[in-house]
């Protein structure tokens, strides 16, 4: 499934902000609930029907995405609770690709910076 790269960046930032509120390692359930909620909001805003079912099918998951994501986060002792790690796990599980079209201007700016 292809999703907007801007959504990815915003999700990483929002997860990082949420995780800052925790002093210790957070419980995976509220973090996964937040991710699921954000996916559903994104789907509503973009006219995507049944995004969770589509992601589960794309990733050929044996259980609902919520369960699989929680399990993956809690079963790995080395898992780091950061926005980037959580979104990377989500994209690996569901074979998500990110649409780079919105970032064409950013890439041009990066190329200009490399010239210096």
Q: Note the pLDDT of residue 100.
A: 76
pTM of the model: 0.82
Q: How confident is the model at residue 115 (pLDDT cuts 50, 70, 90)?
A: low
**Tens-place pLDDT, residues 57-106:** 999 999 999 999 999 999 988 999 999 999 999 999 999 999 875 444 44
* Sign, Cα dihedral of 20, 21, 25, 30: negative
Q: Note the pLDDT of residue 77.
A: 87
- Cα separation values, 15 from 1, 57, 90, 108, Å: 21, 24, 13, 28
């Amino acid at each position: 499934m292809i999703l907007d790269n801007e959504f990815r960046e915003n999700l990483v930032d929002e997860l990082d902000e949420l995780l800052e509120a925790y002093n210790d390692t957070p419980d995976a359930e509220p973090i996964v609930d937040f991710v699921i909620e954000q996916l559903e909001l994104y789907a509503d805003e973009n006219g995507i029907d049944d995004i969770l079912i589509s992601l589960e099918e794309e990733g050929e998951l044996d259980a609902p995405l919520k369960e699989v994501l929680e399990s993956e986060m809690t079963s790995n002792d080395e898992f780091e609770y950061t926005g980037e790690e959580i979104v990377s796990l989500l994209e690996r599980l569901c074979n998500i690709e990110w649409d780079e079209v919105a970032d064409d201007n950013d890439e041009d700016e990066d190329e200009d910076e490399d010239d210096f």
